[in-house]
Chain A
């Protein structure tokens, strides 16, 4: 497999097809290092969501190799995958908040899954909700939140456990420009602490807001990498968290 030894994610000639249909992703190869910030762009139907599903381990590729956190994911037993997933934060395009849980409980979910006690959970969850401007909606259920508020809860849930990789599918699609910038700053802060961030978006204005980011452009299931920067990216300085 090509790529660096210290990479956090490495895709090598990955292909994905659903059933007997033609491949939705073909020959995808790239390497992500800790602390890198990527925007994943492409037209609708280009394969962005499928790519993200591979990244947050909702799908196995039908061919090729994926290494994550130094492990070959293709040969990993299914039982070990939850440990990998706990190191990945996901912001779903449709938020996927649990409807009968409050904003607090939704954000606390990853911490509870990881086995933290209620006393350890209370403060970080409250801080996170304050950061995304929802401290006054702590007990609100998703149905009573606006689209933008739901998106902020989803983002807070994805970053609360300080994941090593953050995967976000159109995370600023439902918020005003001011909140979009604020959320990007949150992603950047995580990024500076070493979290690898992958944000799928079709908002070109967003790309300019993070100058050090790299752009992964998908076109009909193939990754555009004319300079090879995605496959062999330059290393970045990472601030220890």
Chain B
């Protein structure tokens, strides 16, 4: 009757049936929902961070090499003369890719909300002539200084500004928002780890007797940890999938609302394929993090037993 030599020595893994060794419901509980919420928030934060990054890099690319020349002259005839001389000056330089005088109608339309229609029509408020210039390569302080010196020698009323300088505060704000998004992702990851840690501790507590029996029958720390890993990994996968769906849905809705604004700056924040791949990796990272946290928690607790 008694079988001989049944036991295999070494460090075996539990087979699939081992998942029955712990009552699953005790580990699952609210875990998938907690993880779903965490993943949804992380996906939204990551989506926002990536969109802001795209806004910043697209805007930078757009204004790289951009210089605005203003002809600040009260007398309209002299202003026109100096504007023409400036266009001639720019046409003779090889380091300039393109230039364009902003038409007076466009300028008036820009100023109308502040000065009113009558003010812009009647020259009651003299407005400078504006010329949009694109240099080859980035605008360095040295290049700007050289160009300014050469132009002012011929056109005394000319004022030069790098466009990047105007938008520097905007970039600073975008960078701050990116840091905020990164901070949110890190905080949410830490909160997820804490939630999984608590769930694993709770599961350990409620299954202590079972764990002790498996331990006394020769179950290794790794075998016992794998039972918890499998359970929490499954919870995290379910929660991650739900969280991803929620997060992506929110990104779509917000993206549509922002695109309706028709702002060029906002349009530059559209997510590219690699951004969507990064977002899709969030729940995968969540599962890995949850499984790793569960393993470390369980092994840490088991090490207190002989």
Query: What is A's interface to B at a CB cutoff of 8 Å?
Result: 56-60, 78-79, 81-88, 90, 96, 98, 100-101, 105, 108-118, 124, 127-128, 131, 157, 159-163, 186, 189-190, 193, 241
Query: Given the complex of chains A and B, what is the CA–CA distance between A186 and B2 in angstroms?
Result: 9
Query: What is B's interface to A at a CB cutoff of 8 Å?
Result: 1-18, 20-21, 23, 209-210, 212-221, 223, 303, 306
Contacts A58-B216, A98-B210 given; indicate if A86 touches B306 (C-beta within 8 A): no
Contact call B214/A109, Cβ cutoff below 8 A = yes
B46 to chain A: closest CB distance in Å?
39
Contact call B3/A124, Cβ cutoff below 8 A = yes
Contact call B15/A118, Cβ cutoff below 8 A = yes
Contact call A78/B303, Cβ cutoff below 8 A = yes
Contact call B218/A112, Cβ cutoff below 8 A = no
A117 to chain B: closest CB distance in Å?
6
Contact call B4/A241, Cβ cutoff below 8 A = yes
Q: Residue A78 contacts which of B13, B209, B306 (CB distance < 8 angstroms)? A: B306
Contacts of B14 in A (CB 8 A): 112-113, 115
Q: Residue A160 contacts which of B6, B209, B220, B303 (CB distance < 8 angstroms)? A: B6
Contact call B217/A90, Cβ cutoff below 8 A = yes
Contacts of B13 in A (CB 8 A): 115
Contact call B223/A113, Cβ cutoff below 8 A = yes
Contacts A60-B306, A113-B214, A127-B1 given; indicate if A161 touches B20 (C-beta within 8 A): no
Contacts of A85 in B (CB 8 A): 215-218
Query: Given the complex of chains A and B, what is the CA–CA distance between A78 and B221 in angstroms?
Result: 10
A83 to chain B: closest CB distance in Å?
6
Contact call B21/A83, Cβ cutoff below 8 A = no
Query: Given the complex of chains A and B, what is the CA–CA distance between A126 and B217 in angstroms?
Result: 19
Contacts of A118 in B (CB 8 A): 15-17
A236 to chain B: closest CB distance in Å?
18
Contacts of B210 in A (CB 8 A): 98
Contacts A85-B216, A101-B20, A109-B217 given; indicate if A114 touches B6 (C-beta within 8 A): yes
Query: Taking CB as reference atom, which chain B residue is nearest A186?
Result: B2
B9 to chain A: closest CB distance in Å?
6
Query: Given the complex of chains A and B, what is the CA–CA distance between A92 and B20 in angstroms?
Result: 22
Contacts of B214 in A (CB 8 A): 109, 113
A59 to chain B: closest CB distance in Å?
7
A173 to chain B: closest CB distance in Å?
19
Contact call A162/B2, Cβ cutoff below 8 A = yes
Query: Given the complex of chains A and B, what is the CA–CA distance between A118 and B218 in angstroms?
Result: 18
Instruction: Show 26 A/B contacts (Cβ-Cβ < 8 Å), sorted by A.
Output: A58-B216, A79-B221, A84-B218, A85-B215, A85-B217, A86-B217, A86-B218, A87-B7, A88-B218, A90-B216, A96-B209, A98-B209, A100-B23, A105-B20, A109-B214, A110-B217, A112-B15, A114-B12, A115-B14, A115-B15, A117-B15, A118-B15, A118-B17, A124-B6, A162-B2, A193-B4
Query: Given the complex of chains A and B, what is the CA–CA distance between A101 and B19 in angstroms?
Result: 11
Contacts of B4 in A (CB 8 A): 162, 193, 241
A115 to chain B: closest CB distance in Å?
2
Query: Which of B10, B20, B218: most chain A Cβ within 10 A?
Result: B218
Contacts A100-B23, A110-B217, A113-B217 given; indicate if A159 touches B2 (C-beta within 8 A): yes
Contacts of A190 in B (CB 8 A): 2
Contact call B306/A58, Cβ cutoff below 8 A = yes
Contact call A112/B2, Cβ cutoff below 8 A = no
